Amino acid sequence: MKELKVQPIKDGTVIDHIAPGNALKVLKILGITETQPDSVISIAINVTGKRGKKDIVKIENRELDTKEVDKIALIAPNATINIIRNTEVVEKRRVEVPDEIVGIVKCANPNCISNMKEPVESKFIVKSKNPLRIKCYYCEREPDDISSQII
Amino acid sequence: MNFEGRDVISIKDFSKEEILYILEVAQKMVPIAEGKEKSDLLSNYIMASLFFEPSTRTRLSFETAMKRLGGMVIGFSQPGTTSIQKGETLADTIRTAESYCDVIVMRHPNEGSARLAAEFASVPIINGGDGAGHHPTQCLLDLFTIKREKGSIEKNRIALVGDLKYGRTVHSLAYALALFGVDMMFVSPPELQMPKEVVEECREMGVDVTISNKLDNLDEIDVLYVTRIQKERFPDPEEYSRVAGSYRIDLKTLENAKEDLIVMHPLPRVDEISSEVDKTKHAAYFRQTFNGVPVRMALIALVLGEVK
């Protein structure tokens, strides 16, 4: 008998092709936590797909908009977004790195003004999308490891 | 070329043509900076000079620049006497200062502080140094000095010597010299080498860069730009003395130098240039210090829109 590890969803968003081990980070970046009572969230980690292992996140009853999903491009640049309505995929697209990243990544430079108690959010300018290179808008430093600097 | 309302945060915010224009305006300011001519160009303006960190030359030359053009100056050089002591943010300090003045000059210990200030201020912000970040007015006065002393920026071979890793002036200067197509020699102890990204950037801009830990071939150099090697970079004081001593410029070092070689230094110096060099025709560092005044006069007048 075939066993379904993760149930298909009726309405909502499926984020597929997340690099293995990054599903929880994706949820963190999207700001989706257990405090959202209307959404059932299923997470599959290390699922074997056609192109090797991957993570999948399914969020029920919530359609993520472009701005929200593009944030995850920082750690899951190959992810695909599927919008599901009444069990049908009505929209499928890849994530795209935005030109500016605001309030998601903390500057790695402890002496940067954005790490002081100032009324500003961290801000990074995308220098290159592939490979992904970003620099702090304020101090212009490039983080060595972007994923470790995610707020 | 219109600079009215512009912030001066990094030398990278300016094109080669804009830099040349600023230097051209600075040249016209020289007689006023020397006190030979009077000017009331900025008589209706107030400059706020906000120095959150110690400074001698940058603060004094900015204030002199404003006053030589008939303007007024408010500000502080000891943040301990202000509400910053009570925990006020930089953003609030800037919003307060801008309501009293027409232009703000600031030095602050955190990188990116001038960029942040510019976000909150509607008056122009001029960066007088932000931590280990940028010091664009130093860079402009260095270029102005080379131009005044040598006739042009382009036709020189320039050696940057000393602490090239942490010295904020040399990073901006290397970029600006590369913009002018100047070939450079970076001379430093291995532990204080020019950061890789600065070297790469210069090479990508098409200039020839040589890296060395020895100051030789002085007969090929037109400008020797010396920086201070700071004691605190070395855990061992003896190691510091040994390293710092090997880059000391004295009469013996200059024996093989070209007749018209100039020695520059952003100052303050400690031991890196012997005082006996001061009397030689090579010593350009005090003229360089003076050049901070006309360059800063030009910048203030340009961003206030009184020179177009």
Q: What is the pLDDT of residues B101-123, one digit of tens each?
A: 999 999 999 999 999 999 999 99
> Chain A: nearest CA to B131, how far in angstroms?
8
The DSSP output letter for B283 is B
Q: Give the residue numbers of B marked as catalytic.
A: 57-58, 86, 107, 135
Domains for chain A: give ranges and CATH numbers. Answer: 12-94 (3.30.70.140), 100-149 (2.30.30.20)
The CATH number for B11-134+290-303, chosen from 3.40.30.10, 2.40.128.90, 3.40.50.1370, 3.40.50.10210, is 3.40.50.1370
Put simply, whether B173 touches A (Cβ < 8 Å) is: no
% of chain B surpassing 70 pLDDT:
100
pLDDT tens digits for range A86-141: 999 999 988 888 899 988 889 999 999 999 999 999 999 999 888 888 999 999 99
Whether residues A114 and B119 touch (CB distance < 8 A) is answered with no
pLDDT bracket for residue B184 (50, 70, 90): very high
For β-strands A52-60 and A12-18, DSSP reports them as antiparallel
| pLDDT tens-place string over residues B240-296 | 888 888 789 999 999 999 999 999 999 988 889 999 999 999 999 999 999 999 999
pLDDT given for residue A18 in this prediction: 92
Query: What is the residue-averaged pLDDT of chain B?
Result: 94
Looking at every residue in chain A, the average pLDDT score rounds to 86
B132-167 pLDDT, tens per residue?
A: 889 999 999 999 999 999 999 998 999 999 999 887
Contact A144, B196 (CB under 8 A): no
How is chain B split into domains, by residue range? Answer: 11-134+290-303, 137-288
Touching B: A residues 100-139, CB under 8 Å: 109, 111-114, 116-120, 136-139
Nearest chain A residue to B133 by CA distance is A139
Contact of B133 with chain A, judged by CB distance below 8 Å, is answered with yes
Which tokens hold the place of B161? 């010597």
Please give the C-alpha separations between residue B69 and each of B4, B98, B299, B307, in angstroms, as whole numbers.
17, 20, 12, 12
A interface test, pick of B52, B115, B172 with most A CB neighbours within 10 Å: B115
Instruction: Name the residue facing A113 among B10, B87, B116 (closest C-beta).
Output: B116
**Lowest-pLDDT choice from A57-71, A136-150, B208-222:** A57-71
Choice between A66 and B137, residue whose per-residue pLDDT is larger? B137
Any CB–CB contact under 8 A between B109 and chain A?
yes
Residue A53 pLDDT grade (very low, low, confident, very high; cuts 50, 70, 90): very high
Per-residue pLDDT at A16 exceeds 60:
yes
Binary contact (A118, B89; C-beta < 8 A): yes
* Minimum Cα–Cα distance from A118: chain B residue: B89
Beta strands, E only, chain B:
46-51, 72-76, 103-108, 125-130, 157-161, 183-187, 209-212, 223-226, 262-264
Residue A42 exposure: Cα atoms within 13 Å on the Cβ side? 17
Least Cα separation, residue A127 to chain B (angstroms): 14
Do B187 and B175 form a contact (C-beta atoms < 8 A)? no
pLDDT at position A3 over 60: no
b (16+ CB within 10 A) / e for B187-207? bbbeebbbeeebbebbeeeeb
**Interface touch A112/B89, C-beta < 8 Å:** no
Find the residue in B nearest to A119 (Cα): B91
* CATH architecture, range B137-288: 3-Layer(aba) Sandwich (3.40)
Interface test with B, best of A102, A109, A116 (most B CBs within 10 A): A116
Does the pLDDT of residue A4 top 60, yes or no?
no
pLDDT of residue B206 exceeding 60, the answer is yes
Measured CA angle at B178 (ends B172, B180), to 5 deg? 110
User: Taking CB atoms and an 8 Å cutoff, what residues of chain A touch B116?
Assistant: 113-114, 118, 120, 138
**Cis status, amide bond into A119, omega within 30 of 0:** no
Percent share of chain B, pLDDT over 90: 81
**Nearest residue to B295 via CA among B280, B307, B284:** B307
- C-alpha dihedral (A97, A102, A104, A108), degrees to nearest 10: 100
Chain B contact probe: residue of A138, A141, A144 with most B CBs at under 10 A: A138
Dist CA B132 CA B135 (whole Å): 9
Closest CB to A111: pick one of B91, B111, B119.
B111
CA A67 – CA A72 distance, rounded (Å): 10
Maximum CA pair distance of chain A? 59
Q: Which residue has the tokens 């919530």?
A: A62
